[in-house]
Amino acid sequence: MKSQRQAKIMEIISEKEIETQEQLLAELNAAGFRSTQATISRDIKELRIVKELSGFGSYRYTVSSDDVGSSFSAKLNAIFRECVVSYDYAQNMLVIRTLPGLASAAASAIDAMGLSVVLGTLAGDDTVFAVMRDNNAAAAFYGEIKNLLS
């Protein structure tokens, strides 16, 4: 349940401008996840979610860019950003297309993140196949990739 809740949190903050824990809690409740403010606070800390200034002058929750840098090396992060051509997901699986010969580097970057929602990756020459713990985790990770590459 914890991994599903945390995946849903990542999905919510990637799709919506969430400014407070109360708003996040309301979104989680609307999605069918019953929780408390204290639990949400712990999840925010574990996921290394921070507030950043949005383009509208307000603050919103987002994944820390420092977290990305500390989760895997800056070199692999740069490779991931430069090599991904396209990406999509279906149910609990992600398919990431890369430039030829760089799928292993992209898979390595994903593996180095150490996310509990990633069960494993498989790399070919230009394609990475990632199996996630559940459908929500795949949707949330898709959102993270979208944020990383935009």
Model pLDDT for residues 77-99, shown as the tens digit of each residue: 677 778 899 999 999 999 999 99
Report residues of the chain scoring pLDDT below 50: 67-72
Please, are residues 64 and 97 in contact by the beta-carbon 8 Å criterion? no
- pTM of the entire predicted model: 0.51
pLDDT, residue 69, reads 42
pLDDT, residue 125, reads 93
* Cα-based distances in Å from 103 to 74, 84, 93, 128, 146: 17, 8, 16, 6, 17
pLDDT, residue 119, reads 93
